[in-house]
Structure 1
Amino acid sequence: MGVPRVYCDCQVCEEARAGGLNRRYRSSVSVESEEGSFLIDCGPDWRESMERRGQRFAGTVLVTHPHFDHIGGLPEWADACRWLERKGRIYAPKEVLDAINRQYPWLERNLDFHPMDEGISLAGWRISGWKVNHGKNGYSYAYRLEKKGYVWAYCPDSIALPPEQRLLLNGLDLLVLGTSFYHELAEFSTRSVYDVKEALELLRELKPKQTIFTHMSHDIDLRQDYALPDGVRYAVTGMNVPLAAI
């Protein structure tokens, strides 16, 4: 839901409401390189994120799964393509594209749908996707991106990954992982995303060089010191991350 949550007057939401550090939007990233650029996910905050970056057009979007917080901006993106008389390109596994088409059957007028079940190359990155457990919410996809000796993965919605779903999360320079709460107390069967404590346990196995936690709820207060391990940090709205060996 982003932060602040409209119904909430907790300290984190009030600080975010005043334009503070905890102001955050639905998870999305813009990947930019000399070879081109693309977005990963297109949630309902798409227009605002474009305005914050001063970006007037997005030609390509890679989607992780067909939930509203990750695809709610697709109609607005498609409408921008219509006004600019340019076709956007949307990439995702076929079952994700099929689900999007069922929800928004008019998008194909302005967007070209590209299944990428066998992987894809975008902006110089070789991208592999695989299905990951999303708990009570079913499934999502994670993506592993490789270029010039640098490897990173984007996995915003997952929980309790079995060993076979962790394989492509090994050997990473950077892992971007969703963690909604620091310690979520809800009954496990009702949950859908790792909490921070569980994610830290996962990192002990995967050992990425860097990790960024994203997809955070108002439970996470960025003004606090959570004593995260070296190389682990929380995402901040608008942050820039170099995707190359330093």
Structure 2
Amino acid sequence: MCYFCGYYSNLGGYTLKVTFLGTGTSQGVPIIACSCPVCQSDDLHDKRLRSSVLVEVDGVRILIDAGPDFRQQMLRERVKDLDAILLTHEHKDHVGGLDDVRAFNYVLNRPMDIYALERVLGHLKVEFSYVFSEKPYPGVPQMALHPIGPEPFMVKDVEVTPISVRHFRLPVSAYRIKDFTYITDANYISEEEKQKLSGTRVLVVNALRREDHISHFTLTQALELVDEVKPEVAYLTHISHQMGKYADVQRELPENVCLAYDGLTLRL
């Protein structure tokens, strides 16, 4: 484990907690029916649910992505309250668990606020058509959809800055909250959008594997972005079984870079 896992910093003026709910790729790790050394590993660091993080700022709880493991992740971390969900894009491994917001609807007695690009919200209306029908079936999830653009927006008193990245040709939303930036499912960021990363102290970026990929940063490309942005600490996420075992890869990384793992918590 690198020195910065469990990273603490005195930012002043606010408190921020980040919990990695899942750090795996679209199939998770282990992959069904795979007998590779990573999928057969006994190290819990090599057990990865689909990628998602919970960000808590001065008591405001913001989830980024709700994939097929959403229910399991909420139960594991004993999450009782959730103020909003930010979606990066519409792929199933990032939205597939949204039906389970029903539990929060019941407990909190309100619809779940969901923020995403207009395109992504349009996809939800198709994927979860039963939620948005004229006469919805009793007990279906309640979702309040909020379209976002390139400008910062507010979740309660917390400012969120969207950062446009590319997942092959698909525009995807990364997010910056205070000095924390989360980038998943990307292999291209324009110079203009990189300016929004300036000064970020904690950077999370996807690193799928070592070999080139059509829509994700490789390990080398992710490390190049870290070197360019120069955060105090960086965490790699959306990791496939092709990356290698956690313990082996971690030993190769610079001192200020860690492979994230499920359940890792940062307090800033």
Match of 1:53 in 2: 77
Change beyond 3 A, Cα 1:124–1:222: farther
Task: Find the counterpart in structure 2 of residue 198 from structure 1.
Answer: 221
SS class of match (2:215): coil
AA at the equivalent of 1:11: P
Equivalent in the alignment of 1:217: 240
Percent identical among aligned pairs is 31
Corresponding residue number in structure 2 for 1:142: 174
Q: Is the 8 A contact 1:28 1:43 kept in 2?
A: yes
Pick which of 81-90 and 112-121 moved more: 81-90
Match of 2:116 among 92, 102, 113: 92
TM-score by length of 2: 0.79
Deviations 1:153-190 (A, max 9, x none): 11111103232232212211011101111x114xx5xx
Residues 1:116 and 2:116 are matched in the alignment: no
Deviation at 1:201, TM superposition (A): 1.4
Per the normalisation by structure 1, the TM-score is: 0.86
Residue in structure 1 matched with residue 259 of structure 2 by the alignment: 234
The equivalent of 2:198 in structure 1 is: 170
Q: How far does the alpha carbon of each residue in 1:111-167 deviate from its partner, in whole angstroms, 9 at most, with x for none?
A: 11112323222364311113211116x221111112xxxx12111111032322322
Would the aligned equivalents of 1:33 and 1:123 in 2 still touch at CA under 8 Å?
no
> How many residues in Structure 1 have an aligned counterpart in Structure 2?
230
Which moves more between the two structures, 95-104 or 24-33? 95-104
| CA shift digits 1:201-245 (9 cap, x unpaired) | 122211111111010001231121442112110111101011x3x
Q: Determine the structure 1 residue equivalent to 2:14.
A: none
**Deviation, structure 1 residue 99:** 2.0
Q: For structure 2, list consecutive stretches of 5 or more residues without a partner in the other structure.
A: 1-26, 133-140
Q: Structure 2 CA distance, aligned partners of 1:94 and 1:119?
A: 15
SS at match of 1:12: coil
Whether the 8 Å CA contact 1:59–1:87 is kept in 2: the answer is no
Tell me the CA shift for residue 8 of structure 1.
0.7
- Which of the residues 31, 45, 51 maps onto 1:5? 31
> What RMSD in Å do the two structures reach over aligned CA positions?
1.9
Q: Following TM superposition, by how much is the alpha carbon of 1:21 offset from its aligned partner in structure 2, in angstroms?
A: 2.1
1:39 aligned residue: 63
Whether contact under 8 Å (1:152, 1:173) holds in the other structure is: yes
Q: Which residue of 2 aligns with 1:133?
A: 166
Separation in 1, partners of 2:86, 2:144: 12
Match for residue 179 of structure 1? 207
Report if the CA contact (8 A) 1:61-1:91 is conserved.
yes
Specify which structure has the bigger relative contact order, considering alpha-carbon pairs within 8 angstroms and separated by 6 or more residues: 2
Residue identity matched to 1:142: A
Letter in 2 for 1:126: E
**Correspondence for 2:10:** none
Secondary structure, in 3 states, of the residue corresponding to 1:21?
A: helix
C-alpha distance 226-135 of structure 1, shift in aligned 2 (>3 A): farther
Q: Which runs of 5+ in 1 are unaligned?
A: none
Determine if contact 2:165/2:174 at 8 Å carries over to the other structure. yes
**SS of the residue aligned with 2:242?**
coil
In structure 2, the residue corresponding to 1:55 is in which secondary structure? coil
Inter-partner Cα distance in structure 2 for 1:206 and 1:19: 31
Instruction: Kindly indicate whether residue 96 of structure 2 is the aligned counterpart of residue 72 of structure 1.
Output: yes
What is the match of residue 208 of structure 1? Answer: 231
